[in-house]
Amino acid sequence: MIYDAGLGLSQSMFNLIASIASIAGLGISIWTLIVATGARRAANEAREAVRKGNATEEFKNLTRIADEFLTHVEADQVPAALVRARDLMSAMSLASSRYGRFLTVDGRNTFEEAYGQISIISRSLSANGAPSSPQQKDKLLKICHGVIKDMSNETGTLFSHLEEPEET
């Protein structure tokens, strides 16, 4: 009898300890899951922040090359302008494919059209050299200014969008 009672008590104790352990185990699992989810979210946010930083630098670089291109066009330095046009088109293509998702549809259209404009100017400078008349030069500069203005506007919009705090 005493043996049975002792056995029953120790079994109850064992069950109690097992229940506590299983509840504690569940708690630890949930806590681990929460920590892991938070860590993953933090890692994703850090990765996204790096991408946004890279995108900002990439688009700043585009505006810098575009300015240099304009400087060479203004000075009728055709070979230098052609080199910068090529650099600009290459950088635009890269930026557009890597970071296009940060741009709006209108923004992407602007960059597509800007690429087309620079490409046509580059082909014309390559085939015909510097503009032969003041009217041609005026037209060329107007288009270059327009392209750079549009690109700067879109880059500015992109920066303000990237700097906005994200909704949680």
Partner 1 sequence: MATSNEYLPVISKLLARTKERKIDWKGTFESTTFICALEGQYSFEIEKGKTARTSTPYRSLTMKDSGQAEVFVANAFVPSNESAIENDNLFALLDELYEQARRIALDIDKKVNEVTNILDKI
Q: Which residues bind partner 1 (CB under 8 A)?
A: 89, 93, 96-97, 100, 103-113, 115-117, 119-121, 123-124, 139-140, 143
Whose Cβ is closer to partner 1: residue 57's or residue 112's? 112
Whose Cβ is closer to partner 1: residue 1's or residue 105's? 105
Smallest distance from the beta carbon of 46 to partner 1, in angstroms?
Answer: 28
Smallest distance from the beta carbon of 103 to partner 1, in angstroms?
Answer: 7
Smallest distance from the beta carbon of 87 to partner 1, in angstroms?
Answer: 14
Whose Cβ is closer to partner 1: residue 45's or residue 112's? 112
107 vs 74, 84, 103, 144, 146, CA distance in Å? 26, 22, 5, 18, 14
> Would you say 65 and 87 are in contact if contact means Cβ atoms under 8 Å apart?
yes
> Would you say 121 and 89 are in contact if contact means Cβ atoms under 8 Å apart?
no
Whose Cβ is closer to partner 1: residue 41's or residue 98's? 98
Smallest distance from the beta carbon of 167 to partner 1, in angstroms?
Answer: 24
Whose Cβ is closer to partner 1: residue 10's or residue 109's? 109
Smallest distance from the beta carbon of 92 to partner 1, in angstroms?
Answer: 8
Residues 6+ apart with CB under 8 A from 131: 76, 137, 139, 140
Write the burial class of residue 107 (CB in 10 Å: 0-12 exposed, 13-18 middle, 19+ buried): buried
Instruction: Tell me the C-alpha distance between 109 and 132, whole Å.
Output: 31
